Amino acid sequence: MTLDSLHLLFFKNYDEANLTFSPGINCFIGDNGSGKTNLLDAIHYLALTKSAFTATDAQSIKQDGEFFVVKGRFSSPQPSLPPRTETIQVSLRQGQKKILTHDKQPYERMADHIGRYPAVLISPYDTDLIRQGSEDRRKYFDSLQAQLDHDFLELLISYSGLLRQRNATLKQSGAASHGFDHDYLLALDEQLVPLGQQLHELRAVFLADFLPLFQRHYQQLADKQEQVTLAYKSQLTNQDFGALLRVNERRDQLLQRTHAGPHRDDFVFLMDGRSVRNYASQGQQKSFAIALKLAQFEILAVRRGRKPLLLLDDIFDRLDSKRIARLLELVADDTFGQVFLTDTNLARTDQALARVQTDIRRFQVRAGVVAPV
Ligand SMILES: Nc1ncnc2c1ncn2[C@@H]1O[C@H](COP(=O)(O)OP(=O)(O)OP(=O)(O)O)[C@@H](O)[C@H]1O
Ligand SMILES: [Mg+2]
């Protein structure tokens, strides 16, 4: 699967852009603040229906603009037929709902799109996953699992919906004079418990499959032979979810939220048995984060049967020559498919890619205007 072209209207700092891509490597070169990462983010929208960076879609509308449009044409090879082309468009008008279309047909649910056009972004913010709280890690692994398995995504949506209902019930009953509707809570829990148990099991199974891929990529990237691991930390590992809800019932009522369940799970990152956040060096943390992304690429490629688009933001700036060389080996040996990368320096990019055989296209980005070099 390749992204053949991209069309933008009033997206972030772009009024309009029309780009035609190489199926190999596409380089966006420009000064700081020119709009390179915004182009990667537009591609991220096509893959995952949302920005990789901004919290709300409205922030992606150009300042003082009314709407944005991001449109991409994808093509995929078909045995003994011409390549199949498909057009994906994401658009948002100020104050309205985001619209996603596939060949002009609107999707009823964004969720139906997730995973069909996989993309993996390697960005300077990746180490946030190590430093931030458990919610970020849960979101990261949930998003990855959702791209791999539509049933997991449906389960996650159902669980989150019920949990919201449960928390709303706890809040209402706190405010209401008649007190607490215990029967209603029990009825909700009866639905919540099997979904939560299932979510727990799917996360555990996923992590067991993902871990060896991650460990192999880390060993290939890092200098030393330190042992890294990802541990799944969940209250449900050795306790029954239903029993946990009952034990916490009093506290849940008092504090008006649900204290136990897979929404409290964490994924713990360890190096030689110690916390990566507290003990690993900056370089080791970078390798850790990149190894996560490379393992993500591999598992998506294998399970979805199509290589994800690879978005490399500022890699030459941030990584030492050894890690860059390792990444470029993967580019050269055809592990990756289509690649989009950003850099501030054309000469440095050309030098780094000098020995890569793949077709390369370069684009110059200047203050929201982008043109092939
Ligand atoms: N909604 C928006 N409207 C107008 N401008 C925006 C909007 N959102 C972001 N920008 C601007 O887009 C500019 C380019 O951002 P981008 O992150 O793509 O730059 P970059 O080329 O990747 O820079 P760097 O090399 O520093 O990473 C920023 O100055 C930012 O303020
Ligand atoms: Mg940038």
pLDDT digits (tens, 9 = 90+) for 220-262: 888 677 999 999 999 999 999 999 999 999 999 999 999 999 9
Q: How far is the CA of 255 from the centre of ligand 2 (A)?
A: 41
113: DSSP letter: G
Same domain, 191 and 46: no
Q: Where does the pLDDT of residue 331 fall: very low under 50, low under 70, confident under 90, or very high at 90 and above?
A: confident
139 and 280 both lie in a single domain: yes
Judged against a pLDDT cut of 90, whether residue 333 lies above it is answered with no
CA distance 253 to 238: 24
Which ligand is closest to the CA of 313, given by its number?
2
Asked if 146 and 234 count as a contact pair (C-beta separation under 8 A), the reply is no
* Number of domains forming the structure of the chain: 2
Looking from the CA of residue 28, the nearest atom of ligand 1 is: 21
Beta-bridge mates of residue 100: 90
From edge to edge, which strands make up the β-sheet containing 274-275?
A: 228-233, 266-271, 274-275
Residue 48, pLDDT above cutoff 90: yes
The CATH number of residue 137's host domain is 1.20.1050.90
The separation between CA 236 and the C-alpha centre of its own chain, rounded to angstroms, equals 25
Q: Which residue has the higher pLDDT, 173 or 109?
A: 109
Worst-scoring range by mean pLDDT, 263-267, 285-289, 295-299, 353-357? 353-357
pLDDT at 199: 98
pLDDT recorded at residue 219: 92
Give CA–CA dist 88/5, Å, rounded. 11
Query: Residue 175: pLDDT band by 50, 70, 90 thresholds?
Result: low
Determine the pLDDT at residue 329.
84
Judged against a pLDDT cut of 90, whether residue 318 lies above it is answered with no
Provide the percentage of residues in the chain whose pLDDT is more than 90.
84
d(CA 296, CA 48): 15
End-of-domain residue from the set 281, 304, 327: 304
Domain contains 294: yes
Nearest ligand (C-alpha, residue 36): 1
Centre of ligand 2 from the C-alpha of residue 32, in Å: 7
Q: Atom of ligand 1 at shortest distance to CA of 35? A: 18
Output the pLDDT for position 77. Answer: 87
Q: What is the CATH number of the domain that holds 22?
A: 3.40.50.300
Q: Whose CA is nearest to atom 12 of ligand 1?
A: 13
335: confidence class by pLDDT, cuts 50, 70, 90: confident
**Could you tell me the pTM of the whole model?**
0.94
Q: Would you say the CB of residue 37 lies under 6 angstroms from ligand 1? A: yes
pLDDT above 60 (res 185): yes
Average pLDDT (320-333) is 83
Asked if 291 and 228 touch (Cβ cutoff 8 Å), the reply is yes
Residues 250, 336: one domain?
no
Summarize the confidence of residues 57-63 as an average pLDDT: 97
Q: Does residue 288 share a domain with residue 319?
A: no
Residues 359 and 223 in one domain: no
Could you say which of 304, 333, 348 is where a domain stops?
304
Q: How far is the CA of 35 from the centre of ligand 2 (A)?
A: 7
In a domain, 124, yes or no: no
Are 5 and 80 contained in the same domain? yes
- The rounded distance, in Å, linking the Cα atoms of 206 and 88 is 29
Mean pLDDT computed over 135-163: 96
Name which residue leads in pLDDT, 322 or 15. Answer: 15
Res 320: pLDDT? 82
What's the average model confidence in pLDDT over 74-97?
95
**Same domain (yes/no): 298, 310:** no
Buried b / exposed e along 255-266 (16+ C-beta atoms within 10 A): eeebebbbbbbe
For residue 371, the model assigns a pLDDT of 96
Does residue 32 have its Cβ closer than 6 Å to ligand 1?
yes
Pocket test for ligand 1, best of 32, 36, 341 (most atoms within 8 A of CB): 36
Final residue of a domain: which of 304, 333, 362? 304
Nearest ligand 1 atom to alpha carbon 365:
21
The pLDDT of residue 272: 95
pLDDT at 178 over 70: no
Q: What is the mean pLDDT of residues 183-193?
A: 94
Q: Is 300 exposed, middle or buried (0-12, 13-18, 19+ CB in 10 A)?
A: buried
The C-alpha atoms of residue 124 and residue 154 are separated, in whole angstroms, by 31
Domain around 213: 129-304
pLDDT, mean over the chain: 94
Asked whether 59 lines ligand 1 (CB < 6 A), one says yes
pLDDT tens digits along 92-108 = 999 999 999 999 999 99
Q: Which helix (H) or strand (E) element contains residue 290?
A: helix 282-304
Mean pLDDT (whole number) for 1-13:
97
Statement: residue 177 has pLDDT above 60: no
Rounded to the nearest 5 degrees, what angle is found at the Cα of 320, between the Cα atoms of 309 and 364? 50
Residues 278 and 312 placed together within one structural domain of the fold: no
Q: Is 44 in the pocket of ligand 1 (CB under 6 A)?
A: no
User: Which ligand 1 atom sits nearest the alpha carbon of residue 60?
Assistant: 1
